[in-house]
Amino acid sequence: MSARMRGGLVPILLALAVAQTHAQAQSSDNDPKEALQELLSKALTVTVSARVLPPDAQEETPIWNAESTKLTLPGRSIKVRLDGENVRIYLICTPYLQDDGDVLLLAQGQVWFTEPLDKENRYFSTFYSIPVSFGEKVLFFPLGLSDADAQQKNHFNIELEIKIVPYEKKQ
Amino acid sequence: MCPDRQILSAYFDGEIAAPWGREIAAHVATCELCRAQLSRMEGTRGLLTEEEAQGWWAPMERVRLRIIGHVPLERHTVPAWRRQVSLPLPVALIAAALLLTFGITLAVLATRTNMGYIRVTKAPAGGTEYQFAVPYDKVEALLKSMGGAEANIESVMTIPKSVKLIPVGEPRMGKANEFPRKKP
């Protein structure tokens, strides 16, 4: 094959490659209903349960709890805000589907806290990346894990439980 | 007495003032010698003029025509659609392929009547790409139709004022089995 023929063959191959890529990109969005069903099959339900536990470590009955169930898509974050008298807590969860079928949970916690006595403001921001299975529980302690000293001071503990399951259409 | 040659030459060229010129003309009319000299001058001038015309006129005319030929007003302007462009063959083929792809894409986009606002593309490696081509509130409406009233972005929980919370350490997060003291 002469150099001239090779020179002419390269652009033809390039054109075929471009056409093939374009055809692949177009193949899956011909039917919006099919695309929507595909999207629904990937939807996720994220449940965030907040609990305030009494100082007594043996006591497991929460003195306050609340739950929020959010529907989302992989890569789309949900946000939960907890407002207290001197504390505001943000939990931002972004689930990603992994190739093995599990979920990679990216979570960001933000805590704004005002000291009761000196009114000093404190801010914590943390970021987590946790691979989980569907239904597996993840716990978030925005104010830390209570220790024995805190329990003696009768301070409450707050924890948030995160659970991600596939979306199931309600019948 | 005949005028000298220089005065006669000046007279021949018309450079002698009127009173003196008339005197010389009266003399020339009666002097055979001076008329013969003026006749030679006339012949010489005629010869020089003829040589000048024959030797320089043709080249000067050629240069003049050449200059006139490059005057912009007389140039013929070719319309853009009739101009000839020469390109190497590979470049021309690539340009044609790109134009064809662009045209096909435009045609597909223009003729699609059932364009969905969500596009799901499966990559050969197994990943899935979601593309939303709608305002954000439309997606929210979709999710709301899927999940009911709980589909807003941010939900707020209000902790009772009676609950006294203080930080007891750094925030922590992990799987439930990493915190054995807690039994939710």
* Dist CA B11 CA B8 (whole Å): 5
The pTM of this model reads: 0.51
The SS3 call for residue A51 is strand
> Is the residue at B10 inside a domain?
yes
Q: What mean pLDDT do residues A128-149 have? A: 85
B10 and B70 together in one domain: yes
More confident residue, B57 or A95: A95
> Is the residue at A36 inside a domain?
no
For residue B18, count other CB atoms closer than 10 A to its CB: 7
Q: What is the pLDDT of residues A27-51, one digit of tens each?
A: 545 566 777 777 778 889 999 999 9
Instruction: Note the pLDDT of residue A164.
Output: 95
Q: Which of A6-10, A88-92, B41-45 has the highest mean pLDDT?
A: A88-92
More confident residue, B173 or A60: B173
Nearest-CA residue of chain A relative to B181? A57
Segment holding A94, helix H or strand E: strand A87-97
More confident residue, A116 or B157: B157
For the record, the structure tokens of B93 come out as: 């083929």
Instruction: Note the pLDDT of residue B57.
Output: 75
Chain A contacts of B161, Cβ < 8 Å? 84-85
Amino acid (one-letter) located at A160: L
A69 and A148 together in one domain: yes
> Is the residue at A95 inside a domain?
yes
> Is the residue at B64 inside a domain?
yes
> Is the residue at B142 inside a domain?
yes
A131 and A57 together in one domain: yes
The residue ranges of chain B whose pLDDT is under 70 are 51-55, 70-76, 110-153, 180-184
Range B68-106 burial, b when 16+ CB lie within 10 A, else e: eeeeeeeeeeeeeeeeeeeeeebeebbeebeeebeeeee
Q: What mean pLDDT do residues A119-144 have? A: 89
Closest Cβ opposite residue B93 in set A12, A137, A167: A12
Q: What's the number of domains chain B is made of?
A: 2
A102 and A161 together in one domain: yes
* Dist CA A10 CA A16 (whole Å): 10
Taking 50 as the threshold, does the pLDDT of residue A61 lie above it?
yes
Instruction: Note the pLDDT of residue A134.
Output: 93
Instruction: Note the pLDDT of residue B144.
Output: 62
What are the Cα distances from residue A81, in Å, to B89, B114, B161, B175? 64, 39, 16, 21
> Could you list the residue range(s) of the whole structural domain that residue A22 is in?
3-30
> Is the residue at B59 inside a domain?
yes
Phi and psi angles of residue A91, each rounded to the nearest 5 degrees, phi first: -125, 120
More confident residue, A12 or B2: B2
A58 and A94 together in one domain: yes
Closest Cβ opposite residue B161 in set A39, A79, A85: A85
Instruction: Note the pLDDT of residue B165.
Output: 82
A76 and A16 together in one domain: no
Output the 3-class SS for A36-50: HHHHHHHCEEEEEEE
* Dist CA B165 CA A86 (whole Å): 8
A80 and A22 together in one domain: no
Sign of CA dihedral A35, A36, A38, A39: positive
> Is the residue at B14 inside a domain?
yes
What are the Cα distances from residue B141, in Å, to A71, A75, B133, B135, B155? 12, 18, 14, 10, 16
A112 - beta bridge partners?
A88, A123
Q: What's the number of domains chain A is made of?
A: 2
Instruction: Note the pLDDT of residue A66.
Output: 92
Task: Give the DSSP letter of residue A165.
Answer: E
B165–A7: do the CB atoms touch at under 8 Å?
no
- Contact predicate A140/B175, CB 8 Å: no
Task: Give the DSSP letter of residue A117.
Answer: T
Closest Cβ opposite residue A140 in set B115, B116, B173: B173
A17 and A91 together in one domain: no
* Dist CA B123 CA B99 (whole Å): 26
The pLDDT-based confidence of A81 (bands split at 50, 70, 90) is very high
Q: What percent of chain A has pLDDT over 70?
A: 69
- Contact predicate A95/A74, CB 8 Å: yes
What are the Cα distances from residue A171, in Å, to A41, A101, A168, B146, B147? 15, 25, 9, 11, 12
Q: What is the pLDDT of residues B76-129, one digit of tens each?
A: 677 777 788 788 888 989 999 999 999 998 887 766 544 445 555 665 655 555
A68 and A14 together in one domain: no
A14 and A80 together in one domain: no
Q: What percent of chain A has pLDDT over 90?
A: 30
More confident residue, A17 or A140: A140
Phi and psi angles of residue A59, each rounded to the nearest 5 degrees, phi first: -85, 120
Q: What is the pLDDT of residues A100-110, one digit of tens each?
A: 888 999 999 99
- Angle value at C-alpha A43, between B148 and A33, nearest 5 degrees: 90
* Dist CA A157 CA A145 (whole Å): 7
B115–A32: do the CB atoms touch at under 8 Å?
yes
Nearest to B159 by CA among A89, A133, A110, A92: A89
From A71's Cα to the closest Cα of chain B, the distance in A is: 6
More confident residue, A145 or B126: A145
A86 and A158 together in one domain: yes
Beta strands in B40-82 (DSSP E): none
Taking 60 as the threshold, does the pLDDT of residue A133 lie above it?
yes
> Could you list the residue range(s) of the whole structural domain that residue B123 is in?
116-150
